Structure 1
Amino acid sequence: MFKKLSAGILSALMVTAVAVSGTGCSQSQPVSIDYKTADKVADGAILQAFCWNFNTIKESMGDIAAAGYSAVQTSPINECLEGENGGMDLYGDGKWYYHYQPTDFKIGNYQLGTRDEFKAMCDEAHKYGIKVIVDVIANHTTPSTDEVSEDLIKAGGGSLETLYHKEGRTPLNDFGDRLACTTHEMGGLPDINTERPSFQKYFFNYINDCIACGADGFRYDTAKHIGLSDDPKEDDGFKNNFWEKATKEVDNAENLFIYGEVLQGDNDRLADYIKEIGRTTSSTYGGKIRSGIAGGNIDTAVVSDYWIGNADPNIVTWVESHDNYINDCTYNNIDSEQVILGWAIITARKDGTPLFFDRPYNSSIDNSWGMNRIGTQGDDMYKDNRVSAVNFFRTAMKGEDENLVNPNLDSTALMIERGTKGAVIVNTNDALKVDFETNLADGTYVDRVDRKTEYKVKNGKITCDTDIPENSVVVLYNEGYTEYARPASVGVDSKTEFTYSDDTYEVTLTCSNTDNATYSLDGGKAVSYKDGDKVTIKHGDSDVSKLELRAENAEGVKTYERLEFTYI
């Protein structure tokens, strides 16, 4: 489905590469800026904008569309615990997980923004044909119970005792015990009685308000800890009907994309959650992908199985989740380059809806929190050329069957074929010679990642004059392909530090594929800059300085980067 960007761009919907300087496009290939997104979230790719605030997501919508995502998932937007006096570090003077500690179910919090800003973000997303998924929590509140709002307490029966399950402050020790799993306190978080009708009414009013503002779907956090219809229950006279109401009795229910976080383990009842919610996460599969990429073993026997037993493959897949990254320290096991290899595998496949967790900006093995700020974008890896190529491939391959094969029985490489229309090749090890069997239709294919390397298919054999390098992704298809001009790029020198202790700090700016890059400091006027120019950060009234970078490519597609520097 083609989506229009803005009135200012409509006059240039189709231009030729001859009119574009510096895009690296073929001289004969038309260039489009009218991005194809999937009509349904399930058929596209989702960007998890982890800890980005509403305004940052809104300003980044051109980047998100240009990277081929059909949906963006926010962090929880409910009112939440304001810890460390409102500090905005991901971890330190502030915590990322405070927005997973609700104090009330109303839109807006100090970390992400206001209700009006959320609505404006949704409006901007819909201009690009991008859907908005909201991460929501119904299972628990903050453990700082004196911060829970009176309105929520009233909706929960009038007291904290009635808001929570009878054993809602008893630690969960046995995940295999379904009554305990769905009524006891998990991770120190008091368990809400989600079966109480007055609470359900209050909570689903919040959900309907999200929908009224533009939400197109929801991720239910800790869904495994909310009972299924036939799960054991406390003797309180209420029914286990939360999921029926969540999926059938909210506004626009038939068009929403809803999935539950069900981490696999003892007695997880994954198949039953899929039936009642519609979709769930598939955490085991992500682990298999990570270990396969890290070990250079992506044998079809491992990566083809979703590891969900006989359950329907209505799942959300990932290479890593934010919990994997933070709690399991997956940054120690695979780097960003390897994440992209895994992403190519899960996104090229027919089933599952892939979710891309964007790691913190400037993060690394040695510095997992990177810039360590809530509200800014994450790492630019989310819009890497390999990521965008496979995202658009996924949208174009809707309805095509899949075939996974290790070329020449080499388990360090994997080819995901989609019917006879397209294929994605992932190579994790040494250079891969291209001379192996394929189901692709005869013809010449150009790698949609580098936009120049040609592959030829004849009589069931694919060949290429050059080998596929180690740690590479190749994306091949013709039918359904649209050439998009490369977006502009803005940023700072890779050696930049985001904390400083002198009164001033000099930052080197970067940009490419643009002649109109600008920067602004702390909301000041925009100043033009060129690649390599420098700007001086000055310690002032606030210990945090905000640097915003903007640019457009030749077709007017916007790019945006927000960086913050902390005086220590």
Structure 2
Amino acid sequence: MFKRILSGLLVSAMLTGSVIYLAGCSNSNSQNGSDDNTSTKTSTEYAHADKIDNGTILQCFSWDFNTIKESMADIAASGYTALQTSPINACLEGEDGGMQLYGDGKWYYHYQPTDFKIGNYQLGTRDEFKAMCDEAEKYGIKVIVDVIANHTTPTTSAISQDLIDAGGGSLETLYHKNNAYDLTDYSSRLACTTYKMGGLPDINTERTSFQDYFIAYLNDCIACGADGFRYDTAKHIGLPDDPKEDDGFTNNFWQRVTTEVNNADNLFMYGEVLQGNNERLADYMEAIGHTTASTYGGKIRSSIINNTLSKGTISDFWVGSAPLNMVTWVESHDNYINDGNWYSMTKEQVLLGWAIITARKDGTPLFFDRPYNSSVDNEWGMNRIGTEGDDMYKDKSVKAVNFFRTAMIGEEESIVNPNSDSTAVMIERGTKGAVIVNTEGELETGFETNLADGTYVNRADGKTKYTVKNGKMTSDANIPENSVVVLYNEGYKEYADTAEVGVADDTVFNIEKGKTATVTLTCANTDNAEYVLNGGKSVAYKNGDKITVSVPESSDIATLVLTAKNSNGVKTYERVVFAVEEKYSVAKGTKVYFEKPDSWGDQIFAYVYNDELYENETWPGLKMTKESDGKYSYTFEDDWETPYIIFNDGDEDGSQQYPADKGLIVEDGKTYTLN
């Protein structure tokens, strides 16, 4: 339902893992903990954990395969061990192939499969996926594919015949018998694993022929270069001892997909198991290998937002007696989009949370990269599927703590509140390293630490020095508010600052047809930034240069590609897209009509909104007036710029709306029908 707008060279082995350095030759020195490592020598030989468990994962949310491939150097330079794609299966081509994250297109279409074969119009082809995996291999980056086995698109007419045949030959056999029921009682394991969730048809994952079909899809992903899988909605697929329908099949889906796929012993697999009523977290960890730790993410967000980083809250993973085989996060894409975290938590606060979860010994941290140019005032930013997300994923503090994590493999952890100040927390790893996060006010040094005596430089800012002597940490400067301090010497490698390219924060990404826009370009840490506009020639630019952008007559978008290299020749890439905007005005007093289908309820509403996030009322909108001829009318009470309208019969379960996606253009006096 449409909701309201605000909706391979092994160099050192350690205790529990090892580090791999790839892609180039090093000229830096690693020194012991008691020495001051302030060398200006730099390396392009990036230290990545040899196992995904010990490293970090970048969630490339709605990036297409070519964008990920072009961004691989940046991903490696930022210290990630693995990247996670959005679902790469075939999916519904909604809104005539529109490519907005939300609006004229939908990010979630690839989470609603039409077939289990590689490639879709949003992310790219199978060949492009393989080329992306090949590029990742060059940099030592592992590839995790987000997969969905639990459900399909609700637009069942779009489901491929091959999938239907694999599901027993009909839509009825593809799905569970209980698919006729909507899931409301999450405490019932039978309902949770066989009922329809959120309107999404529930696949009978116990059917052997479907399992065979899905395993073939997984093996094709592996053949292309996938190193692991994230299972979406995993808790809605039954465990071996869960109750099930009387259909002659057994609950063996997890046993088969974790053991019968190629290279099974070397794959990293985890399931999305959102914590709540009767979710059986420990059992899913045993069945799949790893699960998410959603409650911990919520505790981290709350701690950062409220400036209360108590040791007890931070140290507890909130998984009970379950083993610590978990993927942790500050926020997931669902938290960002559906839970409103996009406006309740700033990017800077996300980075503080990331430092905490990544500095820790246990868990495998996942970094969700927010949409490009998004903010607490603009959920979708540039609002484009396929392009790179926000530069926050390669922030200096993120890079510093990612490499810290790799250097600390095998070290135990200690969590304390420095000076007993609960607005700050310090995660120490043995005597080798420490990460300090301070959320409120300046934090005075002079507190106790387990760090070995010596002089340390904050790897997050590259300059501030800290001295440890006789178990006390001191510095000439206090630790600023909303800052991250990353301290370690042993295992540290000096890397050149990443080149930065982009457009000004106030850039508007919609251009009226036939008009132009002036765009300010930005760059830093480079002397060779270049741009290519609409496939033209490459042009050098400097920070602050302005260019004129227009949409070609033969297209509905303008494409701006920005590239640069840093002092070590490491490439940075960004693709910026400007879309045509068709503007029109609607005057106060404009009146429209709607013919209600017989199957709808008797109270009809008009929900009006525009791209500036104005709405006539929160969903379902304002009640329409029933006219004498049986039609329903709505009169605009204000002037509007480029509004869209959706007709519906309320927000109760089973309610109807037209259209199902983006609203209709408003035309004075028009009668709208479903035909």
> 2 CA distance for matches of 1:410 and 1:85?
55
The number of aligned residues is 555
> 1 CA distance for matches of 2:339 and 2:62?
18
* 1:537 maps onto 2:549 in alignment: yes
Aligned counterpart, 1:364: 375
Aligned counterpart, 1:196: 207
Aligned counterpart, 1:4: 22
- The code of the aligned residue for 2:105 comes to G
Aligned counterpart, 1:451: 462
Aligned counterpart, 1:114: 125
Aligned counterpart, 2:309: 298
1:15 is displaced (CA, Å) by 7.1
Look up the SS of the partner of 1:243 in the other structure.
helix
* 1:515 maps onto 2:533 in alignment: no
Look up the SS of the partner of 2:230 in the other structure.
strand
1:27 is displaced (CA, Å) by 7.2
* 1:328 maps onto 2:339 in alignment: yes
Which is helix-richer, 1 or 2?
A: 1
Aligned counterpart, 2:357: 346
**Of residues 144, 157, 160 in structure 1, which corresponds to 2:155?**
144
Aligned counterpart, 1:72: 83
Aligned counterpart, 2:328: 317
Look up the SS of the partner of 1:291 in the other structure.
helix
1:192 is displaced (CA, Å) by 0.4
* 1:395 maps onto 2:413 in alignment: no
- C-alpha contact (below 8 Å) 2:551/2:578 kept by paired residues: no
> 2 CA distance for matches of 1:90 and 1:133?
21
- C-alpha contact (below 8 Å) 1:317/1:354 kept by paired residues: yes
> 1 CA distance for matches of 2:197 and 2:310?
36
> 2 CA distance for matches of 1:413 and 1:32?
32
- C-alpha contact (below 8 Å) 1:3/1:127 kept by paired residues: no
- The code of the aligned residue for 2:97 comes to G
- C-alpha contact (below 8 Å) 1:431/1:468 kept by paired residues: yes
Query: How many percent of aligned residue pairs carry the same amino acid?
Result: 70
Aligned counterpart, 2:598: none
* 1:408 maps onto 2:414 in alignment: no
Deviations 1:99-120 (A, max 9, x none): 0010000000000000000000
> 2 CA distance for matches of 1:461 and 1:15?
29
Deviations 1:307-346 (A, max 9, x none): 1110001100000000001000112221000000000000
Look up the SS of the partner of 1:188 in the other structure.
coil
Look up the SS of the partner of 1:483 in the other structure.
coil
> 2 CA distance for matches of 1:15 and 1:217?
32
**Of residues 423, 436, 448 in structure 2, which corresponds to 1:437?**
448
Look up the SS of the partner of 1:341 in the other structure.
helix
- The code of the aligned residue for 1:277 comes to I
Structure 2: unaligned runs, 5 residues or longer: 1-18, 30-36, 582-675
- C-alpha contact (below 8 Å) 2:28/2:39 kept by paired residues: no
Deviations 1:147-185 (A, max 9, x none): 100000000001011100111232111110000100010
Aligned counterpart, 2:569: 556
Aligned counterpart, 1:499: 510
Deviations 1:16-44 (A, max 9, x none): 9xxxxxxxxx9734211111111000101
Look up the SS of the partner of 1:455 in the other structure.
strand
> 2 CA distance for matches of 1:522 and 1:138?
39
> 1 CA distance for matches of 2:202 and 2:401?
40
> 2 CA distance for matches of 1:303 and 1:290?
11
Look up the SS of the partner of 1:72 in the other structure.
strand
- Give the TM-score taking structure 2 as reference length: 0.81
Q: RMSD of the TM alignment (CA)?
A: 1.3
- The code of the aligned residue for 1:418 comes to R
- Give the TM-score taking structure 1 as reference length: 0.96
> 2 CA distance for matches of 1:278 and 1:191?
23
1:500 is displaced (CA, Å) by 2.1
- C-alpha contact (below 8 Å) 2:48/2:79 kept by paired residues: yes
* 1:376 maps onto 2:413 in alignment: no
- C-alpha contact (below 8 Å) 1:60/1:559 kept by paired residues: yes
- The code of the aligned residue for 2:265 comes to E
Structure 1: unaligned runs, 5 residues or longer: 17-25
**Of residues 226, 251, 257 in structure 2, which corresponds to 1:240?**
251
> 1 CA distance for matches of 2:62 and 2:470?
50
1:13 is displaced (CA, Å) by 4.0
* 1:87 maps onto 2:87 in alignment: no
- The code of the aligned residue for 1:231 comes to D
Output aligned runs, 1:172-321, within 5 Å: 172-321=183-332
Look up the SS of the partner of 1:476 in the other structure.
strand
> 2 CA distance for matches of 1:13 and 1:476?
21
- The code of the aligned residue for 1:557 comes to V
* 1:490 maps onto 2:501 in alignment: yes
- Of the structure 1 ranges 506-515 and 441-450, higher mean CA displacement relative to structure 2 is found in 506-515
Aligned counterpart, 1:421: 432
Point out 4+ residue stretches in structure 1 off by more than 6 angstroms.
Answer: none
> 2 CA distance for matches of 1:2 and 1:237?
48
* 1:469 maps onto 2:480 in alignment: yes
